[in-house]
Amino acid sequence: MAVAHTGYFTPMKPPKFDMLRPESLGQLVGILDADEDARVISGGQSLMPMLNFRIANPPVLVDISRLSELRGIELEPGSGLRIGATTTHREIERSDLVKEHQPFLPYALQFVAHVAIRNKGTIGGSLAHADPSAEWPALCLLCEAEVETASVRGCRRLRIDDFLVGTFATNLEPGEVVVAIRFPAWNNQRLWGFQEVSRRHGDFAIAGAAVWLERDATSKVTAARIVVFAVEDRPVALHEVAESLVGKVPDERHFAEAGRLAASTLTARGDLHASAEYRSELVEVMVERALCQAVYSIHKGKS
């Protein structure tokens, strides 16, 4: 049998796929509408490993990384930020606009993998991938961000807690793509904390917590938000635990109690990396530490 020679030895590890490169958002949604098996590739930092392992086998990839209309960080009226879906983690981490208007994000983004991954990976890609252990879904939930999507049917805006529906599962409809993430204005008086445990720096979290507190002139907590991630099938905002701190001038005892309450509220999953019991103990410690970090560390309001 004749063997076709290309003249090169070229190992092909990912499965065969076609690659389309639309030049506008209009073209992109047209392609996604026409072929429901087409899969969007942005930075590729989650999809490429899945292709290399052949866990994913999409017939068509649609490359959105060069669509300039999906990239960039803009200040919205009222000091909110709109971040384009293909903006990289590193661009967001180093943005002066983000440092000023969402001071908590650059700190937390240092926990996302490593610099070389953050140089390629994108906010929209991470959200659409919806890994429960990833930082972005949790950060968006803490900030009460909205996900802006587009399809041939038009644009939608989804609250982050409506967007995330489970492990690697979102409310994106067939033919729909994440276009941008909108962060409402951040109160710069907020105290915030971010904690996660992973086997090595840059690995996915085994458990993590992100919190903010607002206090009045007498240090009494007036509002709080606590998000735990990598524990259930998506990040969870623990409203009752946050509410338990409101009206108090909390100290370490209250934070430890909030940690215990958080652990008892959640049903931790067990996997290769950690048993459910261990994760549950980590929740307690992560929430307590994140609250202590918010109140006692230097990471206040503006970093």
Partner 1 sequence: MKATFSVQLTVNGRPVQEEVEARLTAVDFIRERLQLTGTHVGCEHGACGACTIMDGDKAIRSCLELACRLDGARITTVEGLAERDVLTPLQQAFRRHHALQCGFCTPGMLMAISALLLENPQPDEAQIRDTISGNICRCTGYVPIVNAVLDVTGSAQPGVHHA
Interface residues with partner 1 (CB under 8 A) are: 8-19, 44-45, 48-49, 51-53, 61, 63, 65, 90, 110, 113-117, 119-120, 200-202
Nearer to partner 1, 200 or 253 (CB): 200
Cβ neighbours of 285 (radius 10 Å): 16
Q: What are the φ and ψ backbone dihedral angles of 161, each rounded to 5 degrees?
A: -75, -15
d(CA 259, CA 290): 10
Nearer to partner 1, 118 or 156 (CB): 118
Pairing of strands 169-170, 164-166: antiparallel
Nearer to partner 1, 21 or 260 (CB): 21
- CB of residue 91 vs partner 1: minimum separation in angstroms? 10
Distance separating the N- and C-terminal Cα atoms of the chain: 67
Among the listed residues 12, 89, 13, the one whose alpha carbon sits nearest the alpha carbon of residue 50: 13
Among the listed residues 93, 178, 104, the one whose alpha carbon sits nearest the alpha carbon of residue 141: 104
Nearer to partner 1, 45 or 170 (CB): 45
- CB of residue 238 vs partner 1: minimum separation in angstroms? 30
d(CA 137, CA 118): 16
- CB of residue 181 vs partner 1: minimum separation in angstroms? 22
Amino acid, single-letter form, for residue 94:
R
d(CA 237, CA 210): 9
Nearer to partner 1, 91 or 284 (CB): 91
DSSP-derived 3-state class of residue 75: strand
Asked if 160 and 146 touch (Cβ cutoff 8 Å), the reply is: yes
d(CA 211, CA 295): 10
- CB of residue 49 vs partner 1: minimum separation in angstroms? 4
- CB of residue 74 vs partner 1: minimum separation in angstroms? 23
Tokens for 228, please give them. 């735990």
- CB of residue 32 vs partner 1: minimum separation in angstroms? 18
Asked if 178 and 149 touch (Cβ cutoff 8 Å), the reply is: yes
Nearer to partner 1, 46 or 149 (CB): 46
Q: Which stretches of 76-176 are assigned E, i.e. beta strand?
A: 81-84, 146-151, 154-159, 164-166, 169-170
- CB of residue 5 vs partner 1: minimum separation in angstroms? 14
DSSP-derived 3-state class of residue 262: helix
Nearer to partner 1, 4 or 217 (CB): 4
Nearer to partner 1, 33 or 63 (CB): 63
- CB of residue 71 vs partner 1: minimum separation in angstroms? 15
